[in-house]
């Protein structure tokens, strides 16, 4: 199951996918798009009979010191009970603060206080959803000077404490490694391979930072996957073995067929890795 790569299903493609049932291996949705749209939810339920569905929330903020929005978790539970997803996931990040939703995945300091909070929230969220909740590594533009652990150490400790599984967003690893100046392959080497349950690939943009004389990679999900990310993906496949892989595209959407083309490439690379074939560079 999920041996072929999946595609993120966004609302502008929904009617087309319902009408034409394109050959996607599986579909990943943001539940927040469907909970607020009963008509879209109705169409999603039609698709759930024909495609494996993965539920990837952007609104369950396990990193918020002011607490998790349990009413939102309950709404997602209702959706999950109807859709019966093959995977449920969210982010190593925070997005809400005291009842406000900041519409972004914001970075956390990696220290004992954050670890205690996330371990507690993760147990509670998994109880609330009645499912394992995969945690995705963020794309970062900066970190906090007060961090006492690297992100890899933090994720490893979170897995050790909670038994959670991880969603490794390969593009995020590349973006963060370029922005923060570390080795992306060493990052992948440091993750607990047995905990990896899903991989993501998404597009990013490069911006100049003229004052600092550097560039910054911004995780925009509005463009094709870069060659560097594909290369890192083949490395991740060798390190973790084939894993359910998703093509993420959220803005300036291309045709659904273009997304399927990227998914096909990911599937080919995964098959080659499984057969031990040499890496095919794009």
Partner 1 sequence: MSLAELQQRVRDAIVLGRDALENVSLVAGQGDGWRRLAIHHRHYETSLVKGLLRRFPATAWLLGSPLLIEAARIFIKACPPTAPCLAEYGETFPPWLSGWSELAHVPYAGDFAALDWQLGKVSIEVETPAVTFDVFAALEADAMTAVRLRLQPGLDYLKAAWPIDNLMRLYLTDTAPEHLVLEPEHIWLQVRGARGQFDFARLSESEFLFRQGVHAAIPLGEAADCALDRDDSFDPGRALTALFTDDLVTSILTAASEDTCEIHR
Q: Which of 28, 32, 169, 262 binds Fe ion (CB under 5 A)?
A: 169
* Residues near partner 1 (CB under 8 A), total: 50
Question: Cβ of residue 212: shortest distance to Fe ion, in angstroms?
Answer: 26
Buried-state track 84-117, b at ≥16 Cβ within 10 A, e below 16: ebbbbbbbbbbbbeeeeeeeebbbbebeeebbeb
Q: Which of 81, 113, 127, 227 binds partner 1 (CB under 8 A)?
A: 113
Phi, psi of 53 (to 5 degrees): -115, 135
The two structure tokens encoding residue 165:
């599984």
Question: Cβ of residue 194: shortest distance to Fe ion, in angstroms?
Answer: 21
Q: Report the chain's C-alpha Rg in angstroms.
A: 18
Q: Which of 96, 162, 171, 172 binds partner 1 (CB under 8 A)?
A: 96
- Burial of 234 (C-beta count, 10 Å sphere; 0-12/13-18/19+): buried
**Dihedral Cα 104, 106, 177, 253, nearest 10 deg:** -10
- Which x/- pattern, by CB under 8 A, does the window 233-272 give for partner 1? ----------------------------------------
- Answer with the entry of Fe ion, partner 1, none that 9 interacts with (C-beta below 5 to 8 A by kind): none
| Segment (H or E) for 246 | strand 245-248
Strands 100-106 and 94-97 come out as antiparallel
- Answer with the entry of Fe ion, partner 1, none that 95 interacts with (C-beta below 5 to 8 A by kind): partner 1
Question: Cβ of residue 175: shortest distance to Fe ion, in angstroms?
Answer: 10
Chain positions contacting partner 1, by CB under 8 A: 32-33, 35-40, 42, 58-60, 64-66, 69, 72, 94-104, 106, 108-109, 113-114, 117, 141-146, 179-181, 209, 211-214, 216, 218
């Amino acid at each position: 199951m999920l041996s072929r790569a999946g595609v993120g299903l966004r609302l502008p493609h929904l009617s087309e996918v319902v009408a034409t049932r394109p050959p996607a291996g599986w579909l990943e949705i943001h539940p927040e798009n469907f909970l607020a749209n009963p008509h879209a939810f109705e169409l999603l339920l039609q698709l759930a009979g024909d495609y494996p569905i993965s539920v990837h929330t952007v609104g369950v903020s396990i990193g918020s010191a002011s607490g998790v929005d349990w009413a939102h978790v309950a709404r997602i539970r209702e959706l999950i009970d109807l859709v019966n997803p093959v995977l449920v996931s969210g982010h190593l990040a925070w997005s809400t603060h005291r009842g406000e939703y900041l519409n972004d995945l914001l970075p956390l300091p990696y220290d004992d206080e954050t670890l205690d909070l996330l371990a507690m929230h993760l147990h509670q969220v998994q109880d609330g959803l009645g499912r394992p909740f995969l945690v995705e590594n963020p794309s970062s533009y900066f970190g906090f000077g007060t961090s006492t652990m690297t992100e890899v150490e933090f994720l490893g400790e979170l897995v050790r404490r909670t038994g959670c599984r991880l969603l490794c967003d390969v593009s995020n690893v590349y973006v963060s490694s370029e922005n923060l100046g570390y080795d992306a392959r060493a990052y992948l080497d440091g993750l607990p391979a047995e905990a990896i349950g899903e991989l993501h690939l998404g597009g990013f943009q490069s911006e100049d930072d003229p004052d600092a004389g550097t560039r910054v990679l911004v995780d925009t999900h509005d463009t094709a996957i870069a060659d560097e990310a594909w290369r890192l993906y083949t490395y991740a496949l060798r390190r973790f073995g084939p894993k359910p892989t998703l093509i993420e595209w959220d803005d300036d959407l291309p045709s659904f067929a273009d997304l399927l083309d990227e998914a096909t490439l990911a599937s080919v690379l995964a098959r080659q890795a499984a057969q031990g074939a040499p890496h095919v560079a794009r």
